[in-house]
Chains A and B, each alone.
Chain A
């Protein structure tokens, strides 16, 4: 598109309007996390008059944030590792083998991504309660229950995206590995996976983000023992006080790792998303 004057004006307007829309909440989040409590309880000020890092210190004491952090980390890391492992195996099967039921599998798995979560929430809660009653395996209120739930949330998209990546790796490479005496699994491990590394990284970050940010199931499946950050941050609102400065500080701290991870892997996301859209 030509760089006419009209276009430059258009670009300027779009960048300013949408830039402010994006930036103002981020600015409010950062500055409010640096204000003392009485300043966030009074009228809003654009420029913080008393800068303090106290909220970043106090937020660990007001609620058991460290425990929520550990819970979220354990749950998200475990769900990510399992989800990526399962997705690699399934995507390899879809990409490299012709077998009966292949289309049924891919359409079924992908369509589960479309269903609203509330549809599974009630039955899954009930199934977990009954598994506990029948087998003594506690899934509601434990990290294990969250892990097996979350690993399936990112699975459909991960399989779909990885299968696309694997398709782009020439089959001649697998065949060379097979000639060299590797089995199909050897070919996957030594040839396909190394070549698909960017895809695996992107899928891992996507799975982690999904688990880290999940709210609906966490609000039902967690008790104080396994509470994750997505629900735990609500605890800053007590009967007497809402610690907005600490909420903002905690929101900032829990966001930084995922935002950095996502921004580093954004190119592969874009590639994966369009690959699916164009197909």
Chain B
């Protein structure tokens, strides 16, 4: 495969081709051809994403308990009741959602921050050529390539109280504490979630930042070194500004992924989620499928979507304005 791959230049290195008069010079069939080409993809997206999204919004306004699942057209309207229940922070459902939201915000901010720092540290360390560089790079990519559940199951084993390697290191090897802490129940659950999610996610940040670093010409650094700029100054004045466009997208993508992370809590805790590790997607999942109350679950999902859209919109607005000024 590697022989074939070196022939075509990947998109990153090619200049965007100018819009020339392409094959559309024959009218008639060619006018419809692009729509025909898109039709299968559009149909699939409609069936799995677009229509379910609107159905989900509709569901959030009806009383869709288990009696109506097979016969949903008979479900009575609930008005705004599902939203009222989800947002009434004085009752159990609303309080649970609010706590879960708080846990998720903390989880996302810390996981994204750690992943970015680790990814940046490794990408910068691997920037100059040295012996064994490609081996290290390949090794660092393994957690990303691994199926998510395989990695998380391994961590589940490692975090077991009596048989896991984490407590073995902390208690038996380093003697930091005398009694073995629980990692999968109780207050430490959030620490475990962050560790496992970061383990998987930082390598994606690394992959992206490493690719971004390749586009910075070497002679910029050489000129800066001649001017007497040290490594740290070079990083601050050259590397960081050059990576700005990459960072803008990377941080947003990392945030959206972590905020709706389901795999990590589900594989780590099963259905018995500890309150400290009750991430929002997992919370909605349990609220819907354990109680079979789809209406409230749908309302929570819509609230989550609205929140993510507001965050994304605000993020794009703020970063866009700043780069126009700069």
A residues within 8 Å of B by Cβ? 1-4, 6-7, 10-11, 14-15, 18-19, 21-26, 28-29, 32, 40-44, 85-87, 89-90, 92-94, 96-99, 102, 105, 108-109, 112, 114-124, 126-127, 129-130, 133, 148-149, 151-152, 155-156, 159, 161, 164-165, 167-171, 174-175, 178, 184, 187, 195-199, 201, 209, 212-213, 215-216, 219-220, 229-230, 233-234, 244, 247-248, 251-252, 254-255, 258-259, 262-279
The stretch of B15-23, B76-84, B88-96, B182-190 that contacts the partner chain: B15-23
Chain A's nearest CB lies how many Å from the CB of B299? 11
Question: Do A274 and B208 touch across chains, with their CB atoms under 8 A apart?
Answer: yes
In the assembled complex, the Cα of A24 lies from the Cα of B205 at a distance in Å of 20
Question: Do B23 and A187 touch across chains, with their CB atoms under 8 A apart?
Answer: yes
Question: Do B199 and A244 touch across chains, with their CB atoms under 8 A apart?
Answer: no
Note all chain A residues with C-beta closer than 8 A to B263: 213, 215-216
Chain A's nearest CB lies how many Å from the CB of B211? 4
Question: Do B69 and A244 touch across chains, with their CB atoms under 8 A apart?
Answer: no
B256 at the interface (CB under 8 A from A): yes
Note all chain B residues with C-beta closer than 8 A to A165: 8, 10-11
Chain B's nearest CB lies how many Å from the CB of A141? 15
Pick from A22, A44, A220, A255: contact of B147, CB under 8 Å: A255
Question: Do B10 and A266 touch across chains, with their CB atoms under 8 A apart?
Answer: no
Closest residue of A by beta carbon distance from B221: A1
Q: CB-defined interface of B230-243 with A at 8 Å, one 1/0 digit per residue?
A: 11001100000000
Q: Shortest 4 CB-CB distances between A and B: which pairs? A: A271-B10, A116-B260, A168-B14, A164-B11
B47 at the interface (CB under 8 A from A): yes
In the assembled complex, the Cα of A4 lies from the Cα of B128 at a distance in Å of 11
- Beyond the given A114-B308, A197-B5, A229-B149, please list 20 additional residue pairs across the A-B interface where CB-CB is below 8 A: A1-B127, A4-B231, A21-B199, A22-B203, A89-B38, A97-B33, A109-B41, A116-B305, A116-B308, A120-B52, A152-B45, A168-B13, A195-B8, A213-B263, A215-B267, A229-B147, A230-B149, A251-B149, A277-B249, A278-B12
Pick from B49, B151, B158: contact of A112, CB under 8 Å: B49
B residues within 8 Å of A by Cβ? 1-2, 4-5, 7-14, 16-17, 19-20, 22-24, 30-31, 33-35, 37-38, 40-42, 44-45, 47-53, 55-56, 59, 64, 69-70, 72, 118, 121-122, 124-125, 127-128, 130, 136, 138-151, 153-155, 157-158, 162-165, 167-168, 172, 199, 202-203, 207-208, 210-212, 214-215, 221, 225, 230-231, 234-235, 245-246, 249-250, 256, 259-260, 262-263, 266-267, 270, 281, 284-285, 288-289, 294, 297-298, 301-302, 304-305, 308, 312
Question: Do B146 and A258 touch across chains, with their CB atoms under 8 A apart?
Answer: yes
Pick from A114, A156, A184, A264: contact of B33, CB under 8 Å: A184
Question: Do A155 and B44 touch across chains, with their CB atoms under 8 A apart?
Answer: yes
Q: List 19 A-B contacts (CB under 8 A).
A: A28-B157, A94-B38, A112-B45, A119-B304, A120-B53, A123-B52, A126-B72, A126-B294, A197-B8, A215-B149, A216-B285, A263-B138, A266-B138, A270-B208, A271-B10, A272-B11, A274-B212, A274-B214, A277-B246
Question: Do A41 and B163 touch across chains, with their CB atoms under 8 A apart?
Answer: yes
Q: A1-B221, A272-B10 are in contact. Are A122 and B56 (CB under 8 A)?
A: yes
In the assembled complex, the Cα of A267 lies from the Cα of B199 at a distance in Å of 21
In the assembled complex, the Cα of A210 lies from the Cα of B45 at a distance in Å of 16
Note all chain A residues with C-beta closer than 8 A to B235: 1
Question: Do A230 and B208 touch across chains, with their CB atoms under 8 A apart?
Answer: no
Note all chain A residues with C-beta closer than 8 A to B153: 233, 247-248, 251
Chain A's nearest CB lies how many Å from the CB of B130? 8
Chain B's nearest CB lies how many Å from the CB of A83? 8
Question: Do B125 and A14 touch across chains, with their CB atoms under 8 A apart?
Answer: yes
In the assembled complex, the Cα of A96 lies from the Cα of B17 at a distance in Å of 10
Q: A109-B45, A251-B150 are in contact. Are A121 and B40 (CB under 8 A)?
A: no
Closest residue of B by beta carbon distance from A177: B23
In the assembled complex, the Cα of A216 lies from the Cα of B149 at a distance in Å of 11
> Which DSSP category, helix, strand, loop or mixed, fits chain A's interface?
helix
In the assembled complex, the Cα of A160 lies from the Cα of B34 at a distance in Å of 16
Q: A2-B221, A170-B17 are in contact. Are A115 and B49 (CB under 8 A)?
A: yes
Pick from A21, A86, A102, A178: contact of B40, CB under 8 Å: A86
Question: Do B208 and A273 touch across chains, with their CB atoms under 8 A apart?
Answer: yes
In the assembled complex, the Cα of A198 lies from the Cα of B235 at a distance in Å of 33
Note all chain B residues with C-beta closer than 8 A to A271: 10-13, 211
In the assembled complex, the Cα of A151 lies from the Cα of B210 at a distance in Å of 29
Question: Do B207 and A43 touch across chains, with their CB atoms under 8 A apart?
Answer: no
In the assembled complex, the Cα of A259 lies from the Cα of B148 at a distance in Å of 11
Question: Do A44 and B165 touch across chains, with their CB atoms under 8 A apart?
Answer: yes
Question: Do B136 and A15 touch across chains, with their CB atoms under 8 A apart?
Answer: yes
Question: Do A275 and B69 touch across chains, with their CB atoms under 8 A apart?
Answer: no
Chain B's nearest CB lies how many Å from the CB of A217? 10
* Interface hub of B142, B154, B230, B270 (most chain A Cβ within 10 A): B154
Question: Do A216 and B207 touch across chains, with their CB atoms under 8 A apart?
Answer: no
Chain B's nearest CB lies how many Å from the CB of A86? 5
* Interface hub of A43, A234, A273 (most chain B Cβ within 10 A): A273
Question: Do B154 and A248 touch across chains, with their CB atoms under 8 A apart?
Answer: yes
Q: A86-B41, A122-B301 are in contact. Are A18 and B145 (CB under 8 A)?
A: no
In the assembled complex, the Cα of A119 lies from the Cα of B299 at a distance in Å of 10
